Amino acid sequence: MMTPLVSLARRVETEESSRELDAEIAVAVYGGKIDWIVDGNVGESYPVRVYADTSGISASGELQASVPRFTSSLDAAVSLVPNDLYWKAGRGRIHHEEPLGGCIIYRAGNHTDEIACGEGANVPSAITAAALRVIEAKGKM
């Protein structure tokens, strides 16, 4: 049976980067709900995660935080990898139909003890997919 995090990891590997996918990841990993705010300066909307712990308080009094760009930012993607683990990521293809990005997450001090891997259209997506699998596995450890 595929769990929501594993299902989301597969979507990250097969879909293009998007703010909608980033929002789904934020809710799956951190909880809360998503509100979309329209930026009047550029006429585009962006997601914020509304939750009940810390961060900034919105005008309505709810706590909220911007949703990181997990599927397009290296910094955001790496923030999902637990600090006690190491990771390697790369970019490139051997065959045209292969994904462009790849990532392996492994235990510190043992690069052959692979915990999870991920692929994607870009390196941040690959890291995010692998990290989602690790988060799922750590929940079962």
pLDDT by residue for the chain (141 residues), tens digit each?
567 999 999 999 999 999 899 999 998 998 878 877 776 665 667 677 665 444 444 445 555 677 899 999 999 999 999 999 999 999 886 667 777 899 999 998 887 888 999 999 999 999 999 999 999 998 754
Amino acid, single-letter form, for residue 40: G
CA 59, CA 96: separation in Å to the nearest integer? Answer: 49
Angle, CA 52 vertex, CA 37 and CA 24 arms, to 5°: 50
Can you list the domains of the chain with their CATH numbers?
1-17+69-141 (3.30.2120), 18-68 (no CATH)
For residue 61, what is the DSSP state?
S
Which of 84, 98, 87, 93 is CA-nearest to residue 128?
A: 87
Contact indicator for 94, 87 with CB cutoff of 8 Å: no
